[in-house]
């Protein structure tokens, strides 16, 4: 079987699975004066961890939609002058990390269009498994695409359905019967703000209230940044419609078991977020607890790899009785897009990002906890840092199961052959990384860490058990590649 895999060339200094996108929406009732663009800006700042490639905001003023977007971080894309020039009482926003489509401005979101029945802006988090098929159908009917992302496919599909029905929410409902995969949407028409979540609930989406305005966000941390009150999560398959300050819901006609992405709790989401009733911080501490039960080892100190490995390290220390310590220091002034200075200088880039604290590890048996292992190259360099700082032993514990399978639902997992766990035993991985022992969280434990979560989980990247039929291979736009050498 051929799998859809990511072949993006990343310049990130650390070896990680990359984040999802983040979406936001806000709508004030008629007569309430707010600056929706400024509110969206604050929310996107809080969601910046979910995507650093591009950012955008679309604002609605009296039915006219204006959009500003570009590649780069939120602080780079928007200035005070830009935000001041975007008045309006309704807005949607997006931060992007691309899992389909390349990094260029055309793929930035929101996507804003004008069609025969009005204006429309859409922002999307997730990945459609049947985007290639839908795109081909649209192109054969004369559709012209400006981007290579599946979000534009989604927009075309919504517009096509809108031409056949009486409202934008009904068009979204019909679209949800056609598309397959993971998605959370915020959709803005001249009079309505709509938020929708796929029937399986792969990606998070919540509802809040800010001084009479309804807000939607990928994570509750964005509500906290705004000072908005959390109301509830958007239910899988739910379509929320806000019109003149009133919220109502309708639902997708698809009925299926829920399968939220378990990696949201392990790595993607901010630890101060609460997703579907479960605290992300406490879920990571639970992962550490299960690691201490499943993979105990004698040691003097437990340390976490900043930042996402720290809560699991605290959990491991708490339940094992081994003291927790700060063993790795993170340089917070290195941008995520820091360019590697050549293959032979990769170790230097790791030292720029992280360095060992000698006083905490010298002469000690160290347990180093991290959230995941992808290729394993960074893990090996971190182990060397600890040994160079005098650690007597280094035991590595991973708060996720081994990555062995591709993801079709928005997580950017490298080609299978690049995964350390592909075709290797834990002992073989231990030897490559250079640790004294290595332990991964079991799949069974990963399914239990999100205490209080109301949904089932998707862990296909670990187990290979996909919650829906997946394509044998991805549809690729042939015009994204350079022409072959005529020789």
pLDDT digit string, tens, across residues 186-216: 999 999 999 999 999 999 999 999 999 999 9
CATH number of domain containing 364: 3.40.50.2020
CATH number of domain containing 187: 3.60.20.10
- pLDDT exceeds 80 at position 159: yes
pLDDT digit string, tens, across residues 298-329: 999 999 999 889 999 999 999 999 999 999 99
On whether both 309 and 234 belong to a single domain, the answer is no
Which range, of 223-227, 326-330, 374-378, averages the lowest pLDDT? 374-378
Domain assignment present for 13 = no
On whether both 109 and 153 belong to a single domain, the answer is yes
On whether both 195 and 326 belong to a single domain, the answer is no
Q: Which long-range contacts (CB under 8 A, 24 or more apart) does 427-435 make?
A: 429/373, 429/376, 429/402, 430/396, 432/376, 432/380, 433/373, 433/376, 433/379, 433/380, 433/383, 433/396, 434/380, 434/383, 434/384, 434/387, 434/394, 435/368, 435/379, 435/383, 435/394, 435/395, 435/396
Look up residue 199 and give its two tokens: 């029937």
On whether both 95 and 140 belong to a single domain, the answer is yes
Cis peptide before 110 (omega within 30 of 0): yes
Neighbouring residues of 197: CB distance < 8 A, sequence distance ≥ 6: 183, 184, 185, 203, 205, 234, 235, 236, 237, 238
On whether both 232 and 310 belong to a single domain, the answer is no
pLDDT value at position 341? 41
Phi (first) and psi of residue 465, to 5 degrees: -95, 95
Sign of CA dihedral 405, 406, 409, 412: positive
Domain assignment present for 115 = yes
On whether both 148 and 232 belong to a single domain, the answer is yes
- pLDDT exceeds 90 at position 88: yes
> Which residues are marked as active site?
21
Q: What is the mean pLDDT of residues 214-221?
A: 98
Residue 291 CA to residue 413 CA, distance in Å, equals 23
Domain assignment present for 481 = no
On whether both 40 and 137 belong to a single domain, the answer is yes
On whether both 187 and 291 belong to a single domain, the answer is no
pLDDT classification of 101: cutoffs 50, 70, 90: very low
> SS3 for 185?
strand
Closest C-alpha to 129, from 190, 78, 191, 178: 178
Closest C-alpha to 51, from 37, 79, 72, 69: 72
On whether both 362 and 220 belong to a single domain, the answer is no
Domain assignment present for 274 = no
Closest C-alpha to 414, from 4, 76, 83: 4
The size of the chain, in residues, is 487
Domain assignment present for 5 = no
Domain assignment present for 471 = no
The CA–CA distances, whole Å, from 317 to 18, 184, 299 equal 27, 36, 10
pLDDT value at position 8? 42
Residue 293 CA to residue 429 CA, distance in Å, equals 21
Residue 267 CA to residue 17 CA, distance in Å, equals 9
On whether both 44 and 181 belong to a single domain, the answer is yes
On whether both 248 and 316 belong to a single domain, the answer is no
Domain membership of residue 229 as a residue range: 22-256
The CA–CA distances, whole Å, from 181 to 41, 322, 452 equal 28, 43, 25
Closest C-alpha to 403, from 1, 68, 3: 3
Residue 304 pairs in a beta bridge with 369
On whether both 156 and 247 belong to a single domain, the answer is yes
Calculate Rg over the CA atoms of the chain: 23
Residue 87 CA to residue 426 CA, distance in Å, equals 56
- Percent of the chain with pLDDT strictly greater than 90: 72
Domain assignment present for 9 = no
Does this model's pTM top 0.85? My answer is: yes
Domain assignment present for 487 = no
> SS3 for 241?
strand
CB of 284 within 8 A of CB of 315?
yes
Instruction: Let me know the angle formed at the C-alpha of 405 by 254 and 206, rounded to the nearest 5 degrees.
Output: 45
Number of domains in the chain: 2
pLDDT digit string, tens, across residues 434-455: 999 999 999 999 999 999 998 9
Instruction: Let me know the angle formed at the C-alpha of 328 by 286 and 400, rounded to the nearest 5 degrees.
Output: 30
């Amino acid at each position: 079987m051929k799998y859809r895999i990511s072949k993006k060339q990343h310049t990130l200094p650390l070896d990680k699975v990359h984040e999802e996108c983040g979406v936001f929406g806000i709508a004030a009732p008629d007569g309430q004066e707010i600056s929706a663009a400024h509110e969206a800006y604050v929310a996107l700042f809080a969601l910046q961890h979910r995507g650093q490639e591009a950012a955008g905001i679309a604002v609605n003023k009296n039915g006219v939609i204006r959009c500003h977007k570009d590649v780069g971080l939120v602080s780079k894309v928007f200035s005070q002058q830009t935000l001041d020039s975007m008045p309006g009482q309704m807005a949607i926003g997006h931060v992007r990390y691309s899992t389909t489509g390349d990094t260029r401005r055309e793929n930035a979101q929101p996507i804003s269009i004008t069609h025969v029945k009005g204006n429309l802006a859409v922002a999307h988090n997730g990945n459609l498994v049947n985007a290639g098929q839908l795109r081909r159908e649209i192109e054969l009917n004369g559709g012209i695409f400006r981007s290579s992302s599946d979000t534009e496919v989604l927009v075309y599909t919504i517009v096509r359905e809108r031409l056949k029905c009486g409202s934008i929410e009904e068009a979204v409902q019909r679209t949800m019967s056609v598309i397959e995969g993971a998605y959370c949407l915020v959709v803005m028409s001249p009079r309505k703000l709509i938020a929708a979540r796929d029937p399986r609930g792969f990606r998070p989406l919540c509802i809040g209230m800010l001084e009479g305005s309804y807000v939607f966000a990928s994570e509750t941390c964005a509500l906290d940044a705004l000072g908005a009150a959390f109301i509830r999560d958007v239910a899988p398959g739910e379509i929320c419609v806000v019109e003149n300050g009133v919220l109502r819901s309708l639902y997708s006609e698809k009925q299926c078991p829920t399968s939220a992405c378990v990696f949201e709790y392990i790595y993607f989401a901010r630890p101060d977020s609460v997703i579907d009733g479960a605290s992300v911080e406490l879920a990571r501490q639970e992962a550490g607890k299960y690691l201490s039960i499943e993979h105990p080892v004698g040691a003097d100190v437990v340390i976490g790899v900043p930042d996402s490995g720290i809560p699991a390290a605290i959990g491991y220390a708490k339940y094992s009785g081994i003291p927790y310590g700060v063993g790795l220091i993170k340089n917070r002034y290195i941008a995520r897009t820091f360019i590697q200075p050549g293959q032979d200088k990769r170790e230097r880039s790791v030292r720029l990002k992280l360095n060992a604290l000698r006083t905490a590890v010298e002469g000690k048996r160290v347990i180093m906890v991290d959230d995941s292992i992808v290729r394993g190259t960074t893990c090996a360099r971190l182990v060397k840092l600890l040994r160079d700082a005098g650690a007597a032993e280094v035991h590595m514990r991973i708060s996720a199961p081994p990555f062995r399978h591709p993801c079709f639902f928005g997580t950017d997992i490298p080609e299978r052959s690049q995964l350390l766990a592909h075709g290797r035993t834990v002992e073989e991985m231990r030897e490559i990384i250079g640790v004294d022992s290595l332990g991964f969280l079991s799949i069974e434990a990963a399914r239990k860490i999100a205490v209080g979560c109301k949904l089932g989980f998707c862990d296909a990247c670990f187990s290979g058990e996909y919650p829906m039929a997946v394509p044998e291979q991805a549809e690729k736009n042939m015009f994204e590649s350079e022409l072959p050498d005529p020789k």
